[in-house]
Amino acid sequence: MPEAAEALVLVSDAASVRTLTLNRPQALNSFTTGMHTELLAALEAAAADAGVRCVVITGAGRGFCAGQDLSDPAVAPNPEPGGKQPDIGDLIERCYIPLALRIRSMPVPVIAAVNGVAAGAGANFALGCDIVLAARSASFIQAFSKIGLVPDCGGTWLLPRLVGRAQALALAMLGDKLPAEEAQRIGLIWRCVDDASLAVEAAALAARLADMPVKALAQTRLALDAGGGIDYAAALAAEARLQSTMGASNDYREGVAAFMAKRKPAFRDR
């Protein structure tokens, strides 16, 4: 009997933290449609599982994710000048947009633990996670300009918001490798840590978040993202509406009760 193909996304649980590991190390975990399918399914499963309170995404081997697998025949440019070219916009709509939106709408915090190079859509999908922790040897590359494309997987929206227009344009146009320490310095990511401590630090951060009122954390992400497109008064009104919802939650009741009783809260909502 033929052996079952190895999973392209490894799934493991530790208490209420689910870790998803991209698993195409021989190609720096670049995206094939198969890996997209498995990653989206794994995120859907985590979102639907009430026992999961934080998700960590990382990569197997020396890379995090090198973006689209450029050897995939489905997206290979036709070498004939004037010949019919594949519509890669269609691939973006089928695979990258659902991935980016799924991460952005997860009911729990999502950490990217960037263990190595993150290039192209691999960089932007990491930057779309809630907290980006990177190994000191990791790097971020807006590789698109090197192959005649524009940043995708949310890059055009994320980059200027994270680092401002000047840095965003230089990163996107030059496509230079940005070391993790520099990425932290300019505010592209939250923090970088020694390579040997990445897994431990990511697990500790995830456990800490999982213990928090994750429903409020997910709403915080939504409110912060929405805040960029509305004026101050509208943001204040949106905060009031959100607090109406959160104030009626079990976690709020529990948080206040725990504070008053000087005990550790046990948050359960999602």
149 scored as a contact of ligand T3D (CB under 6 A)? yes
- State the angle between helix axes of 232-247 and 250-261 in degrees (0 to 180), rounded to the nearest 10: 80
And the tokens for 150?
A: 């524009």
- Of 45-74, which residues contact ligand T3D (CB under 6 A)? 66-71
214 scored as a contact of ligand T3D (CB under 6 A)? no
Q: Let me know if 34 is exposed, middle or buried by CB neighbors in 10 A (0-12, 13-18, 19+).
A: middle
User: Which of 35, 100, 117, 126 is in the footprint of ligand T3D by CB under 6 A?
Assistant: 117
75 scored as a contact of ligand T3D (CB under 6 A)? yes
119 scored as a contact of ligand T3D (CB under 6 A)? yes
User: Which of 144, 202, 206, 217 is in the footprint of ligand T3D by CB under 6 A?
Assistant: 144
Secondary-structure breakdown of the chain: helix, strand, coil percentages, each rounded to the nearest 5: 50, 15, 35
CB 61 within 8 A of CB 29: yes
- CB closer to ligand T3D out of 149 and 258: 149
Decide the pairing of beta strands 191-193 and 131-135.
parallel
- Run of H or E residues at 121: helix 121-127
And the tokens for 111?
A: 């950490």
250 scored as a contact of ligand T3D (CB under 6 A)? no
180 scored as a contact of ligand T3D (CB under 6 A)? no
Q: Which residue has the tokens 């190079």?
A: 117
User: Which of 9, 46, 60, 91 is in the footprint of ligand T3D by CB under 6 A?
Assistant: 91
User: Which of 129, 141, 163, 171 is in the footprint of ligand T3D by CB under 6 A?
Assistant: 141
Which amino acid, residue 134?
A: A
State in angstroms the smallest separation of the CB of 151 from ligand T3D: 9
Task: Give the residues lining the site for ligand T3D (CB under 6 A).
Answer: 27-28, 30, 66-71, 75, 88, 91, 117, 119-121, 141, 143-144, 146-147, 149, 152
